[in-house]
């Protein structure tokens, strides 16, 4: 079947950007958070006024089969891997856009019949 030229052109742009992300090899799911905590022990600096919280700690988390799993990172790792996560999000965004083009094409296909 024939794609409309605008669809084809956008798909090419998406493919180019996806390829350039993939080529870096720097793709990581999940997210990185910076946290500082209060331990609650009486007399600890985190309980004083003003409080000095523990940390910061850097934590990478992701969902595996509905469960969140995590790893603690150094500050340097957190700086490095933030770009990997950004790449992963962009790659997903690009794939979703490609899917939208597919949905639009199917909806515009004169052979498609409405349901319900
Ligand atoms: Zn404390």
- Closest of 86, 37, 34 to residue 60, by C-alpha: 34
> pLDDT, tens digit, for every residue of 32-65?
999 999 999 999 999 999 999 999 999 999 999 9
Structure letter (DSSP) for residue 76: H
If pLDDT is split at 50, 70 and 90, which confidence band does 2 have?
confident
Distance 42 CA to ligand 1 centre (A): 8
Distance 104 CA to ligand 1 centre (A): 55
Write down the H helix ranges in 1-116: 5-24, 75-108
- How far is it, in rounded angstroms, from Cα 28 to Cα 107? 34
Q: Is the pLDDT of residue 116 over 80?
A: no
- How far is it, in rounded angstroms, from Cα 98 to Cα 112? 19
- Residues, Cβ < 5 Å to ion ligand 1: 39, 44, 46
Structure letter (DSSP) for residue 50: S
> pLDDT, tens digit, for every residue of 34-43?
999 999 999 9
Taking residue 104's Cβ as centre, other Cβ atoms within 10 Å add up to 12
Distance 74 CA to ligand 1 centre (A): 20
Predicted TM-score (pTM) of this structure: 0.83
| The pLDDT value given to residue 115 | 84
């Amino acid at each position: 079947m024939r794609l409309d030229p605008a669809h084809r052109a956008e798909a090419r742009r998406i493919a180019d950007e996806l390829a350039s992300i993939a080529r870096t090899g720097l793709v990581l799911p999940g997210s990185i958070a910076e946290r500082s905590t209060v331990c609650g022990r009486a007399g600890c600096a985190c309980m004083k006024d003003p409080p000095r919280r523990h940390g910061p700690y850097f934590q990478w988390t992701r969902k595996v089969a509905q469960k969140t799993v995590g790893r603690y990172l150094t500050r340097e790792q957190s700086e490095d891997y933030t770009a990997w996560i950004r790449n992963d999000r962009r790659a997903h965004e690009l794939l979703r856009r490609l899917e939208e083009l597919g949905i639009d094409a199917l909806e515009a296909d004169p052979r498609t019949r409405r349901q319900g």
